[in-house]
Amino acid sequence: MTPDFSVVILHYNAPVFLEGALDSVARAVQERNAEIIVADNASTDFDADFFRQRFPQVKFIVYPENYGFARGNNLAVEAARGRRIFLLNPDVLVPEVLFDRMNACMDGINKPGLCSVRLIDGHGRFLPESKRRVPTLTGIAGKMLSRKAGDFWSGGYYDRRLGNTADGAAEVFVGALLGFEREAYLRLGGLDEDYFMYGEDIDLSVRFLRAGLTNYYLGSVAAVHFKGESTPRDPVYRRHFARAAEIYMQKHHPMAYRLTSALVRPLLNRWANRKSPSGAIAQTATLPPAYVGNRPGVHSRLERYFGTGVPVFLLEKLPERPHLLILDPGTYGFETLIGLLEQQAGSAHRFRWLTLDEKKYYGSDSATAKGEVVRLEE
């Protein structure tokens, strides 16, 4: 039977986060006519046999080399059989209602383009790249000058016209979570493979708009994007980002770029070489651990690992002083725990998620930091 939709995840060197992503996706497609495809971009840390055993319902494709974000996704979409595609990063956790809500939304649009949702980081904070404007030269320059998403300079880059939790037409989305019709994606050429990393999602969003399609933002649905798991925020990342900005300007604003390139190139180079903000992982070892769940076996495993008593908290009553809160999707599911993350976004707690096999926990505290993975020893 041809699936109604396909979920495509391009993976690179983030296997524990991929476990979490697949756990959440598997719950969200349960009893639905869907296929899940994971394409691995020649990771050095990927055990295909482990994943095939853990997730037998998933189709795994292992590439012989790192094709980059655009080509890696394009090949996977070509292999997909669903008429509708959902692209996900491997460091994204989705609520159980995600695909039902996104499919219903796209079914209600006359000419659906891209669809995305409200993204939050590993501490529950809203990620402003969830919805952006079509970039202009001044908007791109503002992004380069801005240190924070809320700065005046970035005002032309992020889209603040639509509320963060509102639903409505928008312009540009981030490639971490995208829904679209497979036919439209292939007809418009898919992700532009001139970009190796970054910028492809902006370029695709703009081409969908220019084709007369409607890009739609579902701010009423939240998903977690840890960020930085496949590509840490280092100088290589910044150079890729700066190069992507230059490719975009040359492609979409050729005349203006020729007139301003003498100013734009030094600005891009300066931004690429600017010191990144500190993304050090919080010292969670200094925080007392606590288990947010109700499964005795999991609780016992945590106590053996930490070598001390681990208090159990339910959602209704979390501790007042800061703890390392280990969240159990096996107890509450992902939608409920994503809601908890947002409710606690301003707290001093740190949050980690249990994997499906209950032998690891993972998570991050900042959009600029590479996350933490802890293997629970027997």
CATH code, domain with 159: 3.90.550.10
More confident residue, 272 or 83: 83
Residues 68 and 150 in one domain: yes
Burial 34-61 (b: 16+ CB within 10 A, else e): bbbbbbbbebeebeeeebeeebeebbbb
Is residue 205 scored above 90 in pLDDT? yes
Query: 299 and 190 in one domain?
Result: no
Q: In sequence order, which ranges of 55-97 are alpha helices (DSSP H)? A: 68-79
Evaluate if residue 276 carries a pLDDT over 60: no
Percent of the chain exceeding pLDDT 70 equals 78
Residue 240 has a pLDDT of: 59
Backbone φ and ψ for 302, nearest 5 degrees, come out as -65, -40
Residues 70 and 196 in one domain: yes
In the predicted model, what is the mean pLDDT of residues 79-85?
98
pLDDT of residue 284: 57
Same domain, yes or no: 68 and 194: yes
Q: Which residue has the higher pLDDT, 34 or 239?
A: 34
- Spell 110-148 as b/e; 16+ CB within 10 A means b: eebbbbbbbbbbbbbbbbbbbbbbebebebbbbbbebee
Rg (CA), the chain: 21
Nearest to 206 by CA among 178, 176, 173, 184: 173
**Least confident stretch, 17-31, 128-142, 161-175:** 128-142
Query: At a CB cut-off of 8 Å and minimum separation 6, what does 293 contact?
Result: 299, 312, 326, 327, 328, 330, 331, 332, 354
265 assigned to some structural domain: no
Handedness of CA 139, 135, 177, 270 (dihedral sign): negative
Taking 60 as the threshold, does the pLDDT of residue 147 lie above it? no
Residue 251 lies in a domain: no
Q: Is residue 136 part of a domain?
A: yes
Full domain range(s) for residue 11: 5-231
Same domain, 186 and 66: yes
Angle at 151 between CA 176 and CA 264, to 5 degrees: 80
- pLDDT category of residue 199 using cuts at 50, 70 and 90: confident
Q: Note the pLDDT tens digit of each residue in 90-144.
A: 999 999 999 999 999 999 999 999 999 999 999 999 999 999 998 766 655 655 5
Report which of residues 251 and 282 the model is more confident about: 251
165 pLDDT above the threshold of 70? yes
pLDDT of 151: 46
Percentage of residues of the chain with pLDDT beyond 90:
70
Identify whether residues 80 and 214 lie together within a single domain.
Answer: yes
Q: Give the residue with greater pLDDT, 42 vs 155.
A: 42
User: Do 218 and 320 lie in a common domain?
Assistant: no
Domain boundary among 231, 255, 275: 231
Pairwise CA distance, residues 94 & 334, whole Å: 7
pLDDT digits (tens, 9 = 90+) for 351-366: 999 999 999 999 999 8
Nearest to 204 by CA among 77, 118, 29: 77
Give the pLDDT of residue 238: 62
One domain for residues 14 and 136: yes
**Same domain flag for 125 and 17:** yes
Asked which of 231, 262, 293 is the last residue of a domain, the reply is: 231
Considering the domain architecture, whether residues 116 and 213 belong to the same structural domain is answered as yes
Yes or no: say if 9 and 18 are a contact pair by the CB < 8 Å rule: yes
Q: What is the pLDDT of residue 278?
A: 47
Q: If we measure between CA atoms, which residue out of 283, 277, 278, 280 comes closest to residue 348? A: 283
How do strand 177-181 and strand 214-225 relate by DSSP bridges? unpaired
Q: Answer for the pair 56, 95: CB distance below 8 angstroms, yes or no.
A: no
Element (H, E) at 87: strand 84-88
Could you read off the pLDDT of 291-315 as tens digits, one per residue?
A: 999 999 999 999 999 999 999 998 8
3-state DSSP assignment of residue 128: helix
Indicate if the alpha-carbon torsion angle 294, 118, 193, 369 is positive or negative. negative
- Position 348 in a domain: yes
Residue that is last in its domain, among 231, 247, 266: 231
Q: What is the DSSP letter of 64?
A: S
Number of domains the chain contains:
2
Same domain, 93 and 205: yes
pLDDT digits (tens, 9 = 90+) for 240-272: 566 666 666 766 667 666 656 666 666 666 656
217 and 316 together in one domain: no
Q: Note whether residue 16 is domain-resident.
A: yes
Per-residue pLDDT for 198 more than 90? no
Residue 359 DSSP class: S
Is residue 148 included in any domain, yes or no? yes
Map residue 355 onto helix, strand or coil: coil
Flag whether 264 is in a domain.
no
Rounded mean pLDDT of the chain? Answer: 87
Query: How many residues are listed for the chain in this entry?
Result: 378
